[in-house]
Structure 1
Amino acid sequence: MIRNNLMRAITYAANKHRDQVRKVDKTPFIAHPYRVAMLLQEHDCDAEIVIAALLHDTVEDTDCTFEELEHLFGKRVKTYVDYVTELDKHIPWKERKEHSIKSFKSVPYDVKLLIAADKIDNLQSMIDLEMVHGEAMWHNFVGSREEQVWYYQEIFTSITDNLSDEEWHPLFYLFQALLEKFQEGDVSQH
């Protein structure tokens, strides 16, 4: 059953994100949720959080609804996606980000892992793209580089602040290491 849901989620996400591309390098958008899901799978995370990773941008960036996700993948997957879905894009960037930062403080542990994997992939992508395109890549983003540094630092703090030492998952250490690399400044200069 889990394998069937995983296969359905792969197909569903690919169809929903079919015509979308990533900023700057224009790679197919679906590569992002696939990488996030693979990262969670590699760290032996629960199958439903891996499925949620595949679907985590569907409601935010496509015509998918929470009702549709619940019908197709169950309440738990729908709830995981709901936790990580940003407010309406018509709301200003900073306001949306502040809302996410605040709400991520109280999400379940599995959702913190999903958030970490998502941000790890985003940070790695930005670091790689900045090495190729330099400062010019930031013209493709709503938030400036400095605002992105602020946002990722605050997200990291939000999801790790109240964790005990025993709760520090390897994904949190990876997030921390990439964040430090990103904070160093324009990586194309190194």
Structure 2
Amino acid sequence: MTRMLAILRAATYAAAAHVGKTRRNLPDPYINHPLRVAEHAVRAGLDEDAIVAALLHDVVEDTDLTWDDLLAAGFSERAVTLARLLTKWWEAGDDDTTPDKATYYGRILEDADALALKLLDRADNLRDVARIVGQRREFAEKYLKKTRREFPPLYERCRNAHARDTFAESLASLELALERRR
């Protein structure tokens, strides 16, 4: 029962942190994104800390909350560490090839749970981008190009079959959406 409580607490915390926010270019409540990533984390067989991290992974990046706030709220150090591994700390541009990015991906590659979560997070983002191809084709093409450039090493290293399959299906979904709109 404590596992379920930790996950419910994280979902409630994330929902409160993202209240009133929507996904970029979509009318969907923002909380739907971390909820979907967490659902896939469950399907991937990841543990409680990884599921909690899936729910919290955008809280610090997208709000004024801090890592200390998450720890003070009672989330495990492991869950907070995983969420931190997924969080970008630099200003990203169109072609953000910085030493920070290399460090970011390097740290993710060292942790199997973070690696699976990163693929699941990107998979959900790819699906959302596929939904807006008609309105934001140029953005969708750039996002696909960036994914093809940055994610092969992560995909190859990931040993979680569900994360790999979900990522591959989502990538194909965006490719198909772009092809259909030519």
Normalised by the length of structure 2, the TM-score is: 0.85
Measured at CA, do residues 103 and 73 of structure 1 come closer, stay the same or move farther in structure 2, by a change above 3 Å? Answer: same
Report the CA distance between 1:95 and its aligned residue.
2.2
Q: Which runs of 5+ in 1 are unaligned?
A: none
Report the CA distance between 1:78 and its aligned residue.
1.0
Letter in 2 for 1:173: D
Measured at CA, do residues 168 and 3 of structure 1 come closer, stay the same or move farther in structure 2, by a change above 3 Å? Answer: closer
Give secondary structure in 1 for the equivalent of 2:20.
coil
Q: Are 2:130 and 1:127 equivalent residues in the alignment?
A: yes
Aligned partner of 1:170 among 140, 148, 162: 162
Q: Once the two structures are aligned, what percentage of the paired residues are identical?
A: 25
Measured at CA, do residues 82 and 96 of structure 1 come closer, stay the same or move farther in structure 2, by a change above 3 Å? Answer: farther
Q: Are 2:11 and 1:10 equivalent residues in the alignment?
A: yes
Residue number in structure 1 paired with 2:62: 61
Give secondary structure in 1 for the equivalent of 2:85.
helix
Normalised by the length of structure 1, the TM-score is: 0.81
How many matched pairs? 178
Report the CA distance between 1:128 and its aligned residue.
2.4
Q: Are 2:86 and 1:87 equivalent residues in the alignment?
A: no
Measured at CA, do residues 49 and 159 of structure 1 come closer, stay the same or move farther in structure 2, by a change above 3 Å? Answer: same
Give secondary structure in 1 for the equivalent of 2:46.
coil
CA offset digits 1:93-144 (Å, max 9, x no partner): 43278744653243301111101111111111111232xxx1x2257xxxx3
RMSD of aligned alpha carbons: 2.4
Please tell me whether the aligned partners of residues 44 and 160 of structure 2 are also in contact (alpha carbons under 8 angstroms): no
Aligned partner of 2:77 among 75, 78, 97: 75
Moved segments of 4+, more than 6 Å: none
Residue number in structure 2 paired with 1:137: 136
CA offset digits 1:23-60 (Å, max 9, x no partner): 12221100000010011112221111011000000000
